[in-house]
Structure 1
């Protein structure tokens, strides 16, 4: 009788070790430089970091939010002297379209204007690189243009 060749038996593989989530059934190995990333309290650490992240998402946007000038009285009392940086519309609600202008003042502050109660003709006549000057108590805005002569535009509001 001839016997078939039987390969030699190899040593068992090492068990999978993940330093953050425990040994996963591998037991203690000798000779390894074990790094303890929190041990058994790692779940508590993840819970605390997650809770802080959720709280930050809830409260930080309100702390760093810019003032939005949107009522006719706020826009009338506002003084502008700076350049137009952004111009966009927010039409998430088709019945109420928000025309938003962001003006960077000469002192470096930003003013965010929402013209949803104003006539959109003013929004259509200004462009991004133009400079705007407006005195407090007035609705006349002097627009410094680069390709056309300077003009004075008047903000008009819809009656309530």
Structure 2
């Protein structure tokens, strides 16, 4: 087993499409990783009149893309307090989406915003990222109204 890490996902209220997260596997030292899972939820869309479905796409991006911007960063914390800092980096809530590079769609979700979106693949279905590769969760549906404070977590394992 490699080294497990977890990071919070915090996204500002938004009314336009964005990237919920952009994960970059570390390159110094060379640290490929496995995605163990993630969860998203929000705190504003309650009641039948507020219900909506958003389409989210999970994609692996290689090559030389232009990273998204306009969001924030989140720091992976080791689950074993004796492990070193993660080599992976995480951006959250980028309002300007990642562009370029070569992307491959790995999964598509229809997220009913009244409940959490939980992605916990079985071990044989975990996504692997080579060092320097990105994984992006992109919102491809424009929300009908403001989505307030999507929050959650993401868990990875850096392969040693």
TM-score band w.r.t. shorter chain: under 0.3
**Structure that is richer in helix per residue:** 1
Q: Higher RCO, 1 or 2 (CA under 8 Å, sep at least 6)?
A: 2
TM-score, length basis structure 2: 0.20
- Indicate the structure (1 or 2) with the bigger Cα radius of gyration: 1
